[in-house]
Structure 1
């Protein structure tokens, strides 16, 4: 399967463009030209025309929410000049960025494809060039009108993907959603699984506060003091709570629940996400989950922690109305949760 048109490749950073150093792999200048040479050396058969531009490349472990605005603005600035886009990004936080851009570029009418590699392209056995070639082909398909993640043998919805492996080429999965395409000898695109184009473009590039959202993973015996400490910074306005099972918390732990109640009372938006890979939050299924509902916590269904974190950041950067944030978290904007 091939498409036509011109694709912009944005090099954000990550393993794919790194080189070895005494301290380990690190970003290095000059990657766009090395990528062009590598792609042209393969003959470019079946690839669309493309340009390569470089943002300030970083190790993706250094990513902050403010970097999402840089990526989104680069896409907005070039949107009308290209038919599709590829972002080369580090694997550690790729799912977080793919989620964020899906919410910043609502109503998009062109493909946006994230990819990267597990081994630098400068090293033997690198998976980088194959991933880029697949991403380029996909980014030229007019039928693909969403933010996606292309890696190994699959194309996934960006806001459904999670990195689940550190040492395999198939590093990403979408635990609660089917792949959008299988990448084998041929590219098999499942058109019935694609997110439909809905309404006009609603592109937004707000100013992010890196500290606006905190994440709390429950563990047995967690204290109220630990919750208070996490939420103490005045900039924290949202909490992604990684709860047990179907959305349960230790409702009889008075100190813990009192700390959550104090946060809710000062306007912190609570979002309930399950720690489980598969399944969804059913906040009223158990009394221990209903206790969160009484505090106004938003059940996030089967949303991934990465998507919930990114969406909460986008909403909090876009409005000061906590009720509007809660409503937005409960809606499926672009396939981030099951309906």
Structure 2
């Protein structure tokens, strides 16, 4: 096997710091603890490997048929499963940058070669280039920049991939924070969608997600996935969370409101990239990224060093949390609160 280095990620191990380096919901749906506890006794037996309840909940959430859902232990497991099935040594894959570092790593682990395309150019890639690769990856909203793919542009890219005989892998790990439709609603046999539950529902340690595919690709993914790919607690809690429409609506409204407030405040110090996601990418300009990170840590806040993303050399990324936590972030970064004049706090 080719030796490939591990990719850096957010997530702060020091529990004394308020963690803005990982983009997870600070809240979880009501009833999660009870569902998890109730699953304990059944966890003493193997799960039902068909996962009918989880598949039904996931399908309803993204708008596909239950049989098109492939349960996985998180979104990254869905990505690896897709690449294991679609790539082999000597293949090539279009990978966006700056974007999630695991794409290139996972491509390389299959013995294939990543070909990097700027994330804001990827949707415009034409058929001749697509014909030279075996797979293309789209991240929507893109991590770390935060922009979501226009559905029409994504559909047009999907059509060109079909014409070129190229598999399209769409990573929708953060799409649940938006009102945009999933690519699962229009998927063709050349499209695979990867979804993560843990970010939207605030349970990153649970490891629950799924892929969506149809036709022969669905059959290949279903055959290749690990037996008992979700533990009983993950499957039960995941199905419960996916049915919490009010929680999802409240989360989307809060994130949009707080993201706008944070952006206004952060723009007083940094160049902030417009975002559709629960995070903001900030260019610190002539300031030292190391100094910004260290100063925030001294005030009890961890933010993401975004220089670990390909193509970025003067950036940090901050998550969007609830108002109280966001106020602490703004204080640690030495900027205003971003409130509109006269806003009732």
More relative contact order, 1 or 2 (CA 8 Å, 6+ apart): 2
After TM superposition, the score normalised by the length of structure 1 is 0.28
Larger relative strand fraction: 1
Larger relative helix fraction: 2
